């Protein structure tokens, strides 16, 4: 069956394998957004946060799509982590072939790119603070193809559709989640 770690245990794994402050912040942001969506859908918020915290924990060591998140899955299996958590993590990466067949799996895909994009919007604010970011500003920046060009707008839009929310509503939910931990994120 396997173990489902607590959020604190997931953070320990994250910190063991990820030294980059930016990757750590990204994991914390996705974890928080996942927790907010779990609450919205009446699901297990700890479990959803764990998936968010661990979705990229192996990325620093294994950044290629040939290895990420597959190497992370091996590490988690060796630690006795439940296979279902591993499959949930796979859902954030389309190249794994994992279907997004649960709300949790839809949410991890939907939150991954958007949290990074919102962070980029915050970083271009004069104060570099999430408190200055609005839903409208994020939606406007999404239309600017040259801004944070590596971020897939198609994935963000598909994620919102999968969750059954409008793009502005999705942005608002995730932005609110990040603003709630702005101090932790240093933004």
Which domains, ranges and CATH numbers included, belong to the chain? 7-185 (1.10.3210)
Q: Each residue of 118-162: pLDDT tens digit?
A: 999 999 999 999 999 999 999 999 999 999 999 999 999 999 999
pTM recorded for the entire structure: 0.97
What's the confidence (pLDDT) of residue 1? 73
Q: Each residue of 4-51: pLDDT tens digit?
A: 999 999 999 999 999 999 999 999 999 999 999 999 999 999 999 999
If DSSP codes are grouped into helix, strand and coil, which group holds residue 61? coil
Max distance between CA atoms of the chain, in angstroms, equals 49
Within 8 A by CB and 6+ apart from 120, the residues are 141, 147, 148, 151
CA 65 to chain centre: 17
Contact between residue 13 and residue 58 where contact means Cβ atoms under 8 Å apart: no
Contact between residue 127 and residue 71 where contact means Cβ atoms under 8 Å apart: no
Tokens of 30: 């996705």
What's the confidence (pLDDT) of residue 41? 96
Q: b/e map of 60-92 (b: 16 or more CB within 10 Å)?
A: eebeeeeebbbbbbebbeeeebbeebbbbbbbb
Q: DSSP letter string over 83-132? A: HHHHHHHHTT-GGG-----SHHHHHHHHHHHHHHHHHHHHHTSTT--GGG
Tokens of 137: 């500003």
């Amino acid at each position: 069956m396997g173990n489902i770690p607590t959020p604190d245990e997931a953070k320990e794994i994250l910190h063991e394998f990820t030294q980059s402050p930016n990757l750590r912040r990204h994991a914390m942001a996705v974890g928080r957004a996942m927790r907010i969506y779990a609450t919205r859908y009446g699901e297990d918020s700890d479990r959803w946060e764990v998936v968010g915290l661990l979705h990229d924990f192996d990325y620093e060591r294994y950044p290629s799509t040939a290895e990420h998140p597959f190497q992370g899955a091996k590490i988690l299996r060796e630690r006795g982590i439940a296979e279902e958590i591993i499959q949930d993590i796979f859902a954030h990466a389309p190249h794994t072939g994992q279907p997004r067949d649960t709300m949790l799996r839809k949410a991890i895909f939907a939150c991954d790119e958007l949290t990074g994009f919102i962070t980029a919007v915050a970083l271009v604010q004069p104060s570099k603070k999430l408190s200055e970011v609005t839903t409208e500003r994020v939606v406007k920046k999404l239309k600017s193809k040259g801004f944070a060009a590596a971020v897939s707008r198609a994935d963000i839009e598909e994620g919102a559709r999968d969750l059954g929310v409008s793009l502005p509503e999705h942005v608002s939910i995730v932005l609110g989640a990040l603003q709630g931990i702005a101090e932790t994120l240093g933004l």
